[in-house]
Amino acid sequence: MSDMPFDHQKLSNRILASMALGLIVGIGLNMTLASNDWFNAVVLEGLLTAVGEIFVRFLSMLVVPLVFVSLITGVSALSDPKKLGRVGGKALSLYLFTTGVAVTLALVSAIVIQPGVGASPDVLVERDIAAQPSFFQVLVDMVPQNPVRAMAEGDMLPIIVFAVLVGLSVALAGDAGKRIGQFFSDFNTVVMRLVGFVMLMAPIGVFALITVLAATTGWSTFLGVLKYVILVLVMLIVHAFISYSLIFKLFTGLSPVTFFAKMRGVMAFAFSTASSAATIPVTLRTVQQQLGVNNRVSSFTIPLGATINMDGTAIMQGIAAGFIAQYYGVDLTLAQYLMVVVMVIIASIGAAGVPGVGLVLLAGVLAQVGLPAEGIALILGVDRLLDMTRTAVNVTGDAMVTTVVANSEGELDHKVFAQSS
């Protein structure tokens, strides 16, 4: 596109290259300089951590303005408010369906492979267990008491509700609505441009994040629970590349290969930041400009998905529940397994798209089926890598469902989709 200050695909490749470089440099540092205090303080915890954090902050900075402005623009451009209900209904059903598939896959694999039998974790850490909000509380919390506070706190669901209502009112407010609608549409173009600037920083930011991670990870903690780590990683890959490809092909008839080729930059962002929320600007930009989804659909379904659709998290939670049950020698009944499925789906809806929440919410799932919440300590030490990987799956699911819904609504530009990546 002519207004882009960069070539999207070249940038995606550069981001992937800087991830690989960060991994190599980080592991090298881990093996050589890990015990050098000066180096750790000044370079790892100092410079590189700062660069990584600045990059994530720039991304996060864009989330609230972008979601707000682009949702108002998208909703107010819908000539038919019924369409909004349809798009929402389809997206919600697909989000629930894919999460159901994810947690079922996870549980079946945990039952077959038995990762918890014979596990020997060498680090046990205490962790504060957060209570899971009840389903009704989640409903109540969706309505913003004060939209400014919701924005200040980056609380995505109330922001979505508020922006959808403003967008509908803009559509219905005649001339005044048209003028305001035009303002938001221009504002949206400007914010998207800003996203482009921040993305230019990505190779450096991603390099810093991955280097620090690889340099400071204690790889030995992986060994005790290696089966669990590998099983979660394998199932994440299976769900992303097999389940999603099948669903995508079945519903759209389009090529999953093209979809994944265009998503690689988004996946790299999600992996490096471990936050679906911080990745929203990149996901939105990619589904619109690379996959050809109209803003009328994506402005709604992407922020919604980043908040409520977490298939990767569901996979981790399902396998973790099986792992912890096996570790403690608890035999779960079929009813308890079904309970895990329901609770995991609710937990993934309630979880915000920020690093690590999936693990914290696992406590609620475990409590529901009577498993010891301390079991979380078993897998805490290895969660960072899994968090990054599952976040990449979470955002891929959001983009996949968004493309499917857009296609079914005639809001997918097939020419843009097919353009080479």
Q: Using CB under 6 A as the criterion, which residues of the chain lie in contact with ligand ASP when the complex forms?
A: 274-276, 310, 313, 351, 353-358, 387, 390-391, 394
- Point out the residue whose Cβ comes nearest to ligand ASP: 358
Residue 412 is classified by DSSP as: B
Buried b (16+ CB within 10 A) or exposed e, 279-308: bbbbbbbbbbbbbbbbbbbbbbbbbbbbbb
Least distance in angstroms from the C-beta of 252 to ligand ASP: 24
- Nearer to ligand ASP by Cβ, of 4 and 354: the residue is 354
Which helix (DSSP H) or strand (DSSP E) does residue 356 occupy?
A: none
Minimum CB distance to ligand ASP, residue 361 (Å) = 8
Nearer to ligand ASP, 160 or 254 (CB): 160
Closest CB to ligand ASP among 78 and 386? 386
List residues bridging with 412 in a β-sheet.
293
Q: Report which secondary-structure segment, H or E, holds 186.
A: helix 174-200
Minimum Å distance from CB 408 to ligand ASP? 25
Burial 184-195 (b: 16+ CB within 10 A, else e): bbebbeebbebb
Q: In whole angstroms, what is the distance from residue 262 CA to residue 379 CA? A: 33
User: In degrees to the nearest 10, what's the CA dihedral of 139, 270, 260, 319?
Assistant: -70
Measured in degrees and rounded to the nearest 5, phi and psi for residue 79 equal -70, -25
Q: Tell me how far, at minimum, the Cβ of 385 lies from ligand ASP, in Å.
A: 12
Shorter beta-carbon distance to ligand ASP: residue 75 or 315: 315
Q: What are phi and psi of 412, to 5 degrees?
A: -115, 125
> Least distance to ligand ASP from the beta carbon of 390, Å?
5
Residue closer to ligand ASP by CB (options 96, 168) is 96
Residues in the chain: 421
Smaller CB distance to ligand ASP: residue 275 or 298? Answer: 275
Report the nearest approach of ligand ASP to the CB of residue 193 (Å).
Answer: 25
- Closer to ligand ASP at the Cβ: 398 or 411? 398
Residue 118 in 3-state DSSP? coil
Per the structure block, which two tokens stand in for 130?
């957060």
Query: Smallest distance, Å, CB 254 to ligand ASP?
Result: 25
